[in-house]
Chain A
Amino acid sequence: MSAQKDCEFLVKRARELVSDDPCAAKAWLITARTLYPADFNIQYEMYIIERNAERTASAGRLLYDMFINFPDQPIVWREISVITAALRSDSQDKHAQFLRGERSPDSPSAAGRWREGNSDGCVFFLCVFVCLTQGFFETLPGRVQCEMLLKATEQCFNTLEKAEMLLLFLKRFPESVVQHGINLGEKLLEAEASDNVETPVNCFRKLFVCDVLPLVVNNMDMRLPASLMQKYMLKAAEFYIGYVTRGPSPDVQIQGSQEGASLKSPAASRGSQRHVIDGLSEKSSVVAEPWERLLDILAVVGARCEWQGDKGQSYVDMLQRVKELCRYLPGLEGDTRSRCCSQVVICAALVLFRSAFLYVSAVQPALFQGVNALSSGPWILVEDLSSVYNDVEMERGAVKHAHKKRKLADGREKTMSSDDEEGSGKGRGRHISVNKTEMPGWSETLESFRTARESWDLLHSHDGLESEFKKICASWKTDSWLWFRIFLTDTIIYQGQYRKALSSLHQMAAGQQPLPGQQSPSGQGSLEHHRALIQQASCHYALGEYRMACEKLLEVVGALMPPSQEPTKTSEDQGRVKTRMRKGSDLRLLPCTTKAMLPFCLQLMLACFKLRAFTDLRDDLSLGHVVVLLQHDWPQGERLFLKTLEKICHQGSFQYENFFNYVTNIDMLEEFAYLRTPEGGRIQLELLPNQGMLIKNPSPALGAELNTLLLQGVQTMDRHHTVTRGITKGVKEDFRLAMERQVSRCGENLFSVLHRFCINEKIIIIQSLP
């Protein structure tokens, strides 16, 4: 004899009837409810019948009843969360579908069921609220309704659910935003703070920024202090920037790479864009057009804070506006000044971070989710060395080697073009060259870099601005933003502060070390490492620290595999934007690929040795290295080579034991052979392999004469005076043979030869530099 049994009986009868005669089933339940109004199962059964029949109005009303009467029933909350989820995804679906111009297949989730059932998923939940405002609540004043709902909202289990409920409520009753908008916002920010979430891209902030904030700032009935609005503005900016620059989540990356391996369809890249904010669904984790949203909020906040200038501008316009504003800043005082200051700092900071992001996303795409990392690898900002071959005057050489001049006459002049695009009128403008075909968006990228630098400079143009900006950076912990550090490092390099850049690079390398797990199958990690080393090398070079530069370079080269094919020179030459006659203060964006890095390393080494080789002091080793390195990109370095020959002629002799190991260029071989002829000046050339080795292990293959010669050569520095005629003759013969053999090596892969040179001679190379 229990009420429980009675209720079970009543519900059971209703269930039996529901398929054949739903009206009868409902009649049973109505009766049951009047008998046992406090029984949850009876009301839940009523609700289920209405819900399954997709009668939204009555289901909504019943759910509301349950919500009021049984606030502790988990089932009620499950239903409500299903509905709020459906609501949220609905609004996003529409937006997302609009953006993608496609229909996404509905998930078979409960939310999906709701949506399928209703032409408009919102209808259901609105019904709940319509019941609230009309029906039996009609007699209650609006204020009481709000109180009721807020009380109900407080019974939500967690802050997020509560906030979502309240948010729907605010959207339904916009007039209540005045009373509850700020409160909800603060609650979310509090929750975020107390939850110890480590990133601004979290569910609370997302709700705050994307949903609550627009309601609040667009409500003109509210009087908001400027300080609060600026605080909110910065919260929004931090979120959007954090969202845009969020790194790829590890599991997603693997998935993405698998997909990428199997098929290179757009689906693969879309798959890698998946990112779920903890606590939110996949759909509600998506924020469409974050920069635009941020700009929207900025426009409203600006209007409300009485900022100068018209609204609805772009980021670029905004920078121009605050630049102009900045000029008046020193003349302003008091509130006007601080308001102006805030405007400049906030606007310039947003332009800075956006432009810096655009730049870094082109230069280091793998850092970010959503940026298509497959399109191109990292790029390195380095000294532009394309003028390395052109640096030396060759007046005299041209006379002496007139007979060769014809052969070399094609020259490289036509590839040299004057620079003018950028930097004209800008004092410290340095040119950054880039291979246009390899980086399709090069002009936007360079423009972003420039805009970011301008913003950065602007923010550091006044103490007042700088201190404000530093506050923002401190609260956002921008120091820990790897991507931003990359931008800053490149900026410092651009400014020529190489020492600072080096310390920044070292810091970055240290910061990156503890993340070996992030190495993806594509070897992204080692690419990063190479990138840092090359940039360091470039800095060391710019500082004149050639030894350090080469050390870093050779570390990279040692890890590279030489390209199996010789570079096709035509494409390389066409791709090069410009090689200029200007002083070597230009920069270049170098693709972080073996194909591009190896040539650059060779050029940089050449640049290091070139200066040593052509001093007045005799340094055959450096000169020899220069000859070896000049083979790359031949005949670009023809003039320099001629200058080398000139110097050798001037010296009258030249000793470089590695010559036959690493020089395979037919033109060079010819020139050296010529040097020994009477016409060439009978230059004494000591080019045969390592005498030291021969001394220790005299080779029976070599004749006694040669051994003697070599021994003598080692013993006396001024050999050609002591060498007998006969011996010299024998040497001549060996030289000729070696030359002939070398000519047959001309077809060898030059990169393999030079790569071998770098690896085998690493120690000598490094030691021969100061």
Chain B
Amino acid sequence: MGDIRQSLLPRDVLSAAKELLYHLDIYICNVVQSGRQPPQVDSKTQELVEEFILHAPKDRNTPARRMSALQELQLLEIMCSCFQEQSRDTVRQLMFSALFNLQGNQADESRMSLLGKLVSMAIAVGRVPILECAATWLQRTHRGYCVRLAQVLVDDYCSMVPGSGPTLQNIHNASPRFCCQFITAVTTLYDLTTEELTPPLELLQMIVSWIQEDPGLVLINFLNTALSGNQPISSLDVTPLGGLMRWCVKASLIYSRDKKKGLTNGSAECELEVGPLFSALHLSVLQVLMLLPNILNEKGLFGRLALLQVESLAALTSDLSRLLDQADKHTHTSSTDSSDLSELALDRLAQALQVAMANGALLCSREDLRAICSRLPHNNLLQLVLSGPVLYYNNIHTPPLAFSPHASHSPIASHPTHTPHPPLASSHPQYPAQPFMTGMQFPFRPSH
């Protein structure tokens, strides 16, 4: 393939790129047909792509060829139809990889830039094959770059062109896989640590509506992926569950803080709207978690694969504890309002932890939970979750479960291993253990 360089050089940038795409297509078809393993393009071809499509400088003495904006648009159009017309998934996927897999070189910047434009265009004109390829790309690429792609799309559709939201809304129908990955990327991007890192309201509404309409969307990537365990460590999470959980737990505190600072434009209005949104989103997250036992059992992964990492939850709880401290400091007079918001955050955290654990999304003991939640202030539900259900459950009305589609497979149904108040000795070394209030009476219990 390297020999075509000479024929490309004399051509103008657009026709050279076009010619190369044409040859690339033929070349990849041959690669796939030859059954070579692994099917990948050689470095020579890779260089040609960087030179004639990404226009990275070949070496110092050759100046980079540049395309005009119009030429670039034409190229994107050609690429769009190229992917659209290719009927073989493997070929298309290899082609996409050849063009956009990051190589850790100078060309990566232009690669990212071109990718952003291509995906944005594919969303606009509804090119499903490209979105599918992009979904795979998001799965394999370092999360840093995934987040950058998400940022481009959010900028394009939520900030730059007002009213273009509905176009983005459509990706749910066009490519659920891409949509799912996009949500994961967005929740990774906006981690609610700073004001800039709160999602635009329009995006939030979009995500909530997607998940409400189809809770399974959150798991689609997980369902379609053969989890081999050799997932790139730095890639995005398999599901957006962790990110969404973080949003829901922190939201009440973040948005109220922003309101007090008067930073968010139209904050009062905004807060009115986000409250119910996060409430609905939180419920959706719990409902998605409830779907897990069946899926995990089918895959034979129940109790073996943690969709939520203890570490990231630890990070969340420490974030939360910091936020709660801040909230306390800011409101000494402590309106019931703000304490309500704190309670809401803790309630949600407790609910998410409990439901995740019960449904096999979170693999840890209550002891571990107590460790990571040790710095949090008291909350009734959290306390209940941390100590676990009372084991000897004597309800005369309830005979032993005959059949429960939800509970029968979940470990919580039999509460197998955890005693309500286990010894405090062995907690995770990396989280400083603080005394758990053993035997503390819950305020709602009879003494109250």
Contact = CB atoms under 8 A, between A and B. Distances in A.
B395 A3 contact: yes
Contacts of B397: 40, 70, 72-73
Secondary structure at chain A's binding surface: helix, strand, loop or mixed? helix
B332 to A, nearest CB: 27
Contacts of A10: 381, 384
A174 B286 CA distance: 37
Contact of B402 (A3, A31, A69, A137): A69
A65 B404 contact: yes
Contact of B404 (A2, A31, A35, A37): A37
Nearest to A37: B407
Contacts of A26: 283
A35 B405 contact: no
A71 interface: yes
Interface in B143-172: none
Interface string A18-35: 000101101110110111
Contacts of B406: 33, 37, 65
Contacts of B348: 27
A30 B446 contact: no
A6 B286 contact: no
A656 interface: no
A36 interface: yes
A5 interface: yes
A481 interface: no
A34 B283 contact: no
A159 B400 CA distance: 26
B410 A36 contact: no
A1 B442 CA distance: 9
Contacts, number: 120
A4 B359 CA distance: 23
Contacts of A4: 394-395
A15 B302 CA distance: 33
Nearest to B400: A38
B282 A23 contact: yes
A136 interface: yes
Interface stretch (B80-88, B102-110, B349-357): B349-357
Given A24-B283, A30-B286, A30-B287, A39 B399 contact: no
Given A24-B283, A30-B287, A2 B402 contact: no
A28 B354 CA distance: 11
A36 B393 contact: yes
B389 A31 contact: no
Contacts of B404: 37, 65, 68-69
A27 B282 contact: yes
Interface in B395-419: 395, 397-407, 410, 412-413
A349 B355 CA distance: 68
B280 interface: yes
Contacts of B385: 31, 35
Nearest to B441: A1
Q: Which of A23, A36, A137 has the most CB of B within 10 A?
A: A23
Given A1-B390, A34-B358, A37-B407, A23 B279 contact: yes
B97 interface: no
Contact of A35 (B279, B282, B412): B412
For chain A, give the interface size range.
35 or more
Interface in B368-395: 380-381, 384-385, 388-390, 392-395
A31 B349 CA distance: 11
Nearest to A36: B389
A9 interface: yes
Nearest to A2: B390
A79 to B, nearest CB: 15
Interface string A47-82: 000000000000000000100111111000000000
A38 to B, nearest CB: 5
A9 B410 contact: no
B94 to A, nearest CB: 36
Interface in A664-707: none
A129 to B, nearest CB: 15
A314 to B, nearest CB: 53
Q: Which of A26, A28, A33, A37 has the most CB of B within 10 A?
A: A37
B262 to A, nearest CB: 26
A69 B351 contact: no
A31 B381 CA distance: 10
A72 B399 contact: yes
Nearest to A31: B351
Contact of B350 (A5, A31, A36, A65): A31
Nearest to B284: A23
A35 B391 CA distance: 10
A3 B393 contact: yes
A148 to B, nearest CB: 8
A39 B395 contact: yes
A594 to B, nearest CB: 69
B427 interface: no
B367 to A, nearest CB: 17
A21 B277 CA distance: 11
Contacts of A5: 444-446
B294 interface: yes
Contact of B389 (A13, A23, A35, A40): A35
A26 B397 CA distance: 23
B416 to A, nearest CB: 13
B276 interface: yes
B271 to A, nearest CB: 14
A2 B348 CA distance: 23
B398 A40 contact: yes
Given A23-B279, A70-B397, A6 B390 contact: yes
Contact of B351 (A1, A30, A73): A30
Interface string B315-330: 0000000000000000
A34 B355 contact: yes
Interface string A365-376: 000000000000
B354 to A, nearest CB: 5
B290 interface: yes
Q: Which of B276, B282, B398 has the most CB of A within 10 A?
A: B398
Contacts of B354: 31, 34-35
A39 B403 contact: no
A5 B445 CA distance: 7
Contacts of A28: 347, 351, 381
Nearest to A70: B398
Contacts of A39: 393, 395, 398
Contacts of A3: 389-390, 392-395
Nearest to B420: A1
A474 B299 CA distance: 67
Contacts of A72: 397, 399
A541 B279 CA distance: 94
B337 to A, nearest CB: 14
B394 A34 contact: no
Contacts of A69: 398, 401-404
B395 A40 contact: yes
B210 to A, nearest CB: 16
Contacts of B398: 38-40, 69-70
10 smallest beta-carbon distances between A and B, as pairs: A34-B358, A37-B407, A3-B390, A136-B405, A23-B283, A23-B279, A31-B351, A3-B393, A35-B389, A9-B444
Interface of A: 1-6, 9-10, 13, 21, 23-24, 26-28, 30-31, 33-40, 65, 68-73, 135-137
Given A9-B384, A31-B350, A31-B355, 14 more contacts: A1-B390, A2-B394, A9-B442, A27-B283, A27-B286, A30-B283, A30-B290, A33-B407, A34-B354, A37-B406, A38-B398, A39-B393, A40-B397, A68-B404
15 contacts: A5-B446, A9-B444, A21-B279, A24-B283, A27-B286, A31-B385, A35-B354, A39-B393, A40-B397, A65-B404, A68-B402, A69-B398, A69-B404, A72-B399, A135-B405
Interface of B: 276, 279-280, 282-283, 286-287, 290, 294, 344, 347-348, 350-351, 354-355, 357-359, 380-381, 384-385, 388-390, 392-395, 397-407, 410, 412-413, 442, 444-446
